[in-house]
Amino acid sequence: MTSQKTAYPALAVALALSLGACGKEASIEPAAPQAPTDESAAQAAAAAAPAPSTAMAPMADDVATTLPKSSMDMIFSTPIQTLDGEPSSIDAHQGKALLLVNVASKCGLTPQYADLEKLQKEYAAKGFTVLGFPCNQFGGQEPGSAEEIKEFCSLTYGVTFPMFEKIEVNGPGRHAIYQELTQVKDAEGKAGDIQWNFEKFVISADRQTITRFRPRTEPYDPDVIAAIEAGLPKAAM
């Protein structure tokens, strides 16, 4: 009996302690910081580093090409009539930086005439001219006569730069000037046929380089301007 009476108080004490513990939230000691592993350190460094830019670096749209002297001579010396029917050649504009462009009056790119004329006015005094070559090979978008083309260009866009007779730039009837120009490679390294209206070739005043720009490259594209300015007569720079 004595042993049973002694056990009761001890049991009560243990029960009380247990109940007290249930009435309180367990106390959790914060875990000691762990030294970062190599993998976690690398992940943290990557997260802290600035995100890489998604903007693409500007790409040049041009590649200057040097043609054989015989090809360049052919471009300049081949006879061609002006839009007014007068005999002429590219040689009439020797000593200038040139932008040669096949044009059309009824094309979605026809508004490029405005900027071509703007280039003419901005750079003519520095030794530069645009030369236009009407062509009806792309969608039949230059169907008019020489007089109609001249009137359209003058009244619609105030064109003052020289215009030549309507010619073919592709196929078996390709004009001799374009036989040589189509050897020039574009920015992707592709030579060959003219793609559409308003393909452009910038020839340096010293006749050393030709830079080719495909039709959708606007006249005031930075690469076109760079080619023009690099090709101006040295005395004008």
pLDDT for the residue 101: 98
What is the reported pTM?
A: 0.74
pLDDT at 24 over 80: no
What tokens does 229 get? 């300015």
| pLDDT band of 41, cuts 50, 70, 90 | very low
Give dist(CA 115, CA 136) in Å, integer: 21
pLDDT in tens, 210-224: 999 999 999 999 999
Domain 64-236 sits in CATH 3.40.50.720: no
Q: State how far the Cα of 120 lies from the Cα of 129, in Å rounded to an integer.
A: 6
Instruction: Give whole-number Cα distances, 154 to 105, 144, 147, 149, in Å.
Output: 11, 14, 11, 9
The label of the residue with tokens 């061609």 reads 80
Domain boundaries, the chain: 64-236
Q: How confident is the model at residue 65 (pLDDT cuts 50, 70, 90)?
A: confident
Q: What's the mean pLDDT when you consider all of the chain?
A: 82
The residue among 148 and 39 whose pLDDT is bigger is 148
What is the spatial distance between Cα 208 and Cα 43, in angstroms, rounded to a whole number? 54
**Structure-block tokens of residue 23:** 């009435």
pLDDT tens figures, 150-195: 999 999 999 999 999 999 999 999 999 999 999 999 999 999 999 9
Confidence of residue 235 (pLDDT cuts 50, 70, 90): confident
- Quickly tell me which residue has 């530069």 as its tokens: 128
pLDDT of 13 reads 38
Mean pLDDT of 33-48: 46
Alpha carbons 169 and 181: distance in angstroms, whole number: 9
> Which residue, 198, 190, 191, is CA-closest to 219?
198
DSSP letters, the chain, are -HHHHHHHHHHHHHHHHHHHHHTSPPP-PPPPPPPPPHHHHHHHHHHHSPPPP-SPPP-----EE---HHHHHHHHHS-EEBTTS-EE-GGGGTTSEEEEEEE-SSSTTTTHHHHHHHHHHHHGGGTEEEEEEE---STT---S-HHHHHHHHHHHH---S-BB-----SSTT--HHHHHHTTS--TTS--SS--STT-EEEE-TTS--EEEE-TTS-TT-HHHHHHHHHHS-GGG-
Catalytic residue among 22, 107, 135, 153: 107
Say if residue 64's pLDDT is above 90: no
- With cut-offs at 50, 70 and 90, classify the pLDDT of residue 89: very high
Q: Is 153 a catalytic residue?
A: no
